[in-house]
Structure 1
């Protein structure tokens, strides 16, 4: 992130990885740890940086991670981002293990040009403040 989180003065990150497909092209996977403890406008600016990277990719795409959307305004920014790049949300079959703050889920998996086959939120409460989200896709 270009900004630092106010409370801890840390930067946050996103990682892009391209995976070659046998039939040509590539799958882009974006792992996100979105900036927290900043104004919604700064959060939206960081999401726009990810959008710029994604718009250049043609083909299947997975965007997942901790988006820190603990407010209505942040959630709307995230949903607008998803619409703008054609992403669908992978809905967890049993979402009670998805971590929330103020009744807002924090972690998500979004995808494009793939068929969702299975989802699962795994309870690891004794290991982390977030639980892993699992999704299986088919091209």
Structure 2
């Protein structure tokens, strides 16, 4: 199995494990998408599982302090979500505590129908 296939299999397991959960879900982290092909495959996998991919501001999500990648620095960190409305988002490139910059996003839950049950009911 190739390294690419192994990464996609791991992402699929994460997304599958949450498939039966009702309500909003966020799946985020370092998916090690080194190439544009990796990113397109990961986005396709997310769509297949009912997730939307949140676009972060242009630029890298890693500091490149520990690894050198050929060409441009890849975006390794991604945020997928469902049943939420995405708001502001960003990459805190001034923070250097790790080899990854912190990524953040604000989400809102969709309004509940007036006659719908409250959460947990």
TM-score by length of 1: 0.62
**1:22-41 map, 5 Å:** 39-41=3-5
- Per residue, is there more strand in 1 or in 2? 1
1:48-89 Cα distance to aligned partner (Å, 9 max, x none): 211320211121111111110002442233112211122112
1:96 alignment counterpart: 59
**1:1-139 map, 5 Å:** 39-92=3-56, 94-96=57-59, 98-99=61-62, 101=69, 102-103=71-72, 104-124=74-94, 126-139=96-109
Report 1 or 2 for greater relative contact order, CA contacts < 8 Å, sequence distance ≥ 6. Answer: 2
Deviating above 4 A after TM superposition, structure 1's stretches of 4 or more consecutive aligned residues are none
Which structure: larger Rg? Answer: 2
Q: CA deviation at 1:97?
A: 5.2
Q: CA RMSD in A?
A: 2.1
TM-score by length of 2: 0.70
Structure 2 distance, partners of 1:109, 1:82, is 10
| Structure 2 gap ranges (5+) | 110-121
Q: Secondary structure at the match of 1:111?
A: strand
Contact 2:7 2:32 in 1 (8 A): no
Paired residues in the alignment total 101
